Amino acid sequence: MVAHIGVANPFCIELSKALSKSVRETGATVHDGGDFITIEGPRFSTKSESNTFRQWGMSIIGMTTSPEAFLAREAEMCYAVMGHVTDYDVWHISEIPVSVEIVIRTLIQNTVIAQDALRNLSQDLPANQVLECGCSDALADAIITQTNSVPDETKKHLGLLINKYI
């Protein structure tokens, strides 16, 4: 079975707004929007990569969100990212070069913010609340395979995702 999911905007707008609000409530600095580039890791960027990503207009370089954002969209789940910056990467000449020690120290501080933000979010978004974002219908126009040609075994395995469309 073949489906091509639209991921022009890989993060749920509504969940992102709610998450942003919950982080602001912790008192942390929040930057909404921006462009995230995913690199294969675990590793730090080379100086050349870091400068190239900046020239491309990337706001954050990270090792997560892909394939997570795409899999969430295929599963018709809302997905958002709370990206905690740990360092300037290697492009910032007035900052000391990134190291594991710096990343871990900042990561520990960011963990407290993340826990508080998720607590806030869980109070703002009750379990039964349905967002009006359209994420729950992402497969509606994405399935390419004619549904009558999908084998029964495939229908059974993918039933949770495709039953409402076949």
* Residue closest to 28 by CA, chosen among 120, 103, 122, 126: 120
Q: What is the pLDDT of residue 117?
A: 97
* Residue closest to 15 by CA, chosen among 162, 142, 134: 134
Q: What is the pLDDT of residue 41?
A: 85
Q: What is the pLDDT of residue 75?
A: 96
Measured distance CA(82)–CA(52) in Å, rounded = 24
| Average of per-residue pLDDT across 34-55 | 90
Q: Is 116 marked active-site?
A: no
Lookup: tokens for 122: 């869980």
Contact 9, 25 (CB under 8 A): no
Measured distance CA(87)–CA(97) in Å, rounded = 9
Give the start-end residues of each E strand in the chain: 36-38, 60-62
Measured distance CA(70)–CA(66) in Å, rounded = 7
Of 32, 35, 89, 124, the active-site residue reads 89
Of 32, 87, 116, 124, the active-site residue reads 87
Q: What is the pLDDT of residue 151?
A: 94
pTM of the model: 0.85
pLDDT-based confidence at 161, cuts 50/70/90? Answer: very high
* Residue closest to 80 by CA, chosen among 89, 72, 91: 72
Q: What is the pLDDT of residue 111?
A: 95
Q: Is 87 marked active-site?
A: yes
Residue 143, classed as helix, strand or coil, is: strand
Measured distance CA(69)–CA(73) in Å, rounded = 6
Chain centroid offset of residue 118 CA: 15
pLDDT in tens, 79-132: 999 988 877 777 777 777 778 888 898 899 999 999 999 999 999 887 777 778
Q: Indicate the CATH number for domain 13-158.
A: 3.40.50.1580
Given a cut of 90, is residue 70 above it in pLDDT? yes
